[in-house]
């Protein structure tokens, strides 16, 4: 007997996990040293809250789910997400996932 999630919740979680697996497999667990240092430098620009949201985004959670989990508005998540993309110089979600993988950060949701 399994636990089933509504499609709108299960697909992003599955895809986030799949992307994370493929990236980690491609780069190895920690990536290359120089690449990891550059990735970490970009991630260090984030505030604590932005990092928290970025980890949830990279794990495949939808904005609405993140908003509910953190008890903030969906618009606040959108604003943080835009700042995350700008500060990390990521032009897509895939680029953000690659950045986190290169930095050796976990790509699974924490909440």
Better-predicted residue by pLDDT, 105 or 106? 105
* Rama region for 62: left / alpha / beta (φ>0; ψ in -120 to 50; rest): beta
Helix, strand or coil, per DSSP, at residue 40: helix
**What is the per-residue pLDDT for 7?**
46
Average model confidence (pLDDT) across the chain? 80
* pLDDT confidence bin for 81, thresholds 50/70/90: very high
**What is the per-residue pLDDT for 107?**
60
Burial classification of residue 92, based on how many CB atoms lie within 10 Å of its CB (0-12 exposed, 13-18 middle, 19 or more buried): exposed
* CA dihedral sign of residues 82, 13, 19, 102: positive
**pLDDT tens track for 41-69:** 999 999 999 999 999 999 999 999 999 99
**What is the per-residue pLDDT for 47?**
97
């Amino acid at each position: 007997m399994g636990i089933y999630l509504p499609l709108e919740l299960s697909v992003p979680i599955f895809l986030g996990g799949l992307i994370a697996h493929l990236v980690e497999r491609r780069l190895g667990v920690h990536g290359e040293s120089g690449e990891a240092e550059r990735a970490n430098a970009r991630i260090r620009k984030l505030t604590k809250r932005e990092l928290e949201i970025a980890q949830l985004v990279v794990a495949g959670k939808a904005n609405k789910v993140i908003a509910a989990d953190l008890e903030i508005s969906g618009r606040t998540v959108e604003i943080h997400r835009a700042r995350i993309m700008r500060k990390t110089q990521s032009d897509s979600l895939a680029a953000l996932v690659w950045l986190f993988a290169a930095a050796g950060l976990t790509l699974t949701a924490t909440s």
